[in-house]
Amino acid sequence: MSNPAMTQSAQLEPAEKDQSQIEQKRMIADHFERLARAKAEGKKVVYTFVPGNLTELIGALDMLAVLPEINALQSGMRKKSAGYIAEAEKAGHSEDVCTYVKCDIGMLKSGNIGPTGTKLPEPDLLLLSYTGCFTFMKWFELLREEYKCPVVMLHVPYQTDGEITPEMREYIVRQLKDVVIPAMEQVAGKKLDMRELSRRLQLSHRAEDDLVAVWESARHRPSPIDGYFGGVYYVGPIFSAFRGTEDAVRYYQMLRAEVDERVRRKEGPMTPDGPAGEERFRLVVEGPPNWTSFLDFWRMFSREGATVVASTYTRVGGLYDKGFRHSPDEPLESLADYCLGCYTNLGLPTRTALLEDYIRRYEADGFLINSVKSCNSFSAGQLVMLRELEKRTGVPGGFIESDLVDPRYFGKANIENRLQSYLQMLEARRGRASA
């Protein structure tokens, strides 16, 4: 599910690179170099997940983050996930288990080599912020068995009614004060400096402002961004190890300037084949992308003139466009609200309302669901959402199926046929409306 430094594989680089992409590659390379030196330099390493991650807190204690989801999707993009998954299945993991989990376990068993070719350090702490995905808990149980290191869990109440109550917020703040921060301080060997945490939250706030401006640019015609395939570039730094840093602020300033320039020139987004051609279809997409054939998947859209103007996957690490910002004034309350508001922590009615808002706000011609075989957090209830959205908006929905990082479940011809049939239906519908 998740995302994040998820786009730094050489296989994902478009034909032409924006300066922000070059900057992001540098950031990722520097981070993995720091991880490679971590043990020698006495740095503590925290493994954690994308939705609800406490990046600012980790950084404020001078520790480094590793995100297993990102390791898994990077393995998929580097065409290594099939072997890792086979390794995990040989060890007894079911074919139906989340393929992120199996890929990560298989990578661990195969030497734990990261995206840059260097061995990842073992964790000093497993930090789980539970945000609507039960698999995360089982995943960390498996990692605990392997690494024999401390585990600390921040339990996040499920936001079933689409509302954060004072009681929910206080429940998380109390856990942070009484359980999570003391455990992290013990591993870090130092006390938390609340002024440093607040400083990092202020930096997060600035980066989040610029990211939201990038999302909102999709209201232009043509959209200067692709909010799904291109979007996984945009969220890389903020969803992973860089939120709360000057690097992230600089990256999002650079990205926003590039997007503003494309708006000024009335240009569409970058694609794997270079700048986009004519914008023929504006789509909203629900569900994660497939990583093992990411470029093929993207080209199915871009070569048909289909631009994704918004997607739910790129909100899995934070719904900033609904108004949330990290706040330096109430640091722990701010972290609590962030965890509560992640997309995977929302009930189906709230998710459906969010998609409806995106369809209307970005004037989408259609919306498409990519149902991922091994991700119940996304896929459960998607057909119900599709029918409800069609009823509410009058906009037709489409449905395709793939998987996160298991190439056995990416049927290129089948997906391409379904997508082309769907786009042809949108074209025919448009013709009837103009007749």
Q: Which two tokens stand for residue 222?
A: 């043509």
> Which of 11-15, 215-219, 250-254 is predicted least confidently?
11-15
Span 371-396, mean pLDDT?
92
Q: Which two tokens stand for residue 426?
A: 């949108």
Is pLDDT above 90 for 364? yes
Question: Which is higher by pLDDT, 17 or 58?
Answer: 58
This prediction's pTM: 0.93
Q: What confidence tens digit (pLDDT) does each residue in 265-318 have?
A: 999 999 999 999 999 999 999 999 999 999 999 999 999 999 999 999 999 988
Residue 115, pLDDT score = 76
Contacts 24+ apart (CB under 8 A), 79-87: 79/11, 79/292, 80/107, 81/106, 81/291, 81/292, 81/405, 81/406, 81/407, 82/292, 82/406, 82/407, 82/408, 83/110, 84/109, 84/110, 85/405, 85/406
Span 245-265, mean pLDDT?
97
Residue type (1 letter), 351: R
C-alpha distances out from residue 258 to 3, 270, 298, Å: 22, 11, 21
Residue 161, pLDDT score = 86
Span 17-45, mean pLDDT?
90
Residue 10, pLDDT score = 38
Question: Which of the given ranges, 1-15, 65-79, 186-200, 364-378, has the highest pLDDT on average?
Answer: 186-200
Confidence band for 82, pLDDT divided at 50, 70 and 90: very high
Is pLDDT above 80 for 434? no
Q: Which residues pair with 367 in a beta bridge?
A: 284, 397
Confidence band for 230, pLDDT divided at 50, 70 and 90: very high
> Which of 80-84, 237-241, 251-255 is predicted least confidently?
237-241
Confidence band for 25, pLDDT divided at 50, 70 and 90: confident
Is pLDDT above 50 for 77? yes
Span 213-240, mean pLDDT?
95
Residue 16, pLDDT score = 61
C-alpha distances out from residue 303 to 174, 264, 277, 279, Å: 51, 24, 8, 10
Residue 135, pLDDT score = 87
Span 398-406, mean pLDDT?
95
Span 108-122, mean pLDDT?
89
Is pLDDT above 80 for 229? yes
Q: What confidence tens digit (pLDDT) does each residue in 148-185 have?
A: 999 999 999 998 888 999 999 999 999 999 999 999 99
Residue 433, pLDDT score = 76
Q: Which residues pair with 159 in a beta bridge?
A: 346
Is pLDDT above 90 for 18? no
Q: Are the beta carbons of 370 and 285 closer than 8 angstroms?
A: yes
Is pLDDT above 50 for 49? yes
Residue 12, pLDDT score = 45
Residue 373, pLDDT score = 87
Span 8-29, mean pLDDT?
68
Is pLDDT above 50 for 197? yes
**Per-position b or e across 4-40, b if 16+ CB within 10 A of its CB:** bbbbbbeebbbeeebebbebbbebbeebbeebbebee
Q: Which residues pair with 284 in a beta bridge?
A: 310, 367
Alpha-carbon gap, residue 392 to 357, rounded angstroms: 11
Q: Are the beta carbons of 84 and 107 closer than 8 angstroms?
A: yes
Is pLDDT above 50 for 2? no
Is pLDDT above 50 for 249? yes
Alpha-carbon gap, residue 62 to 420, rounded angstroms: 50
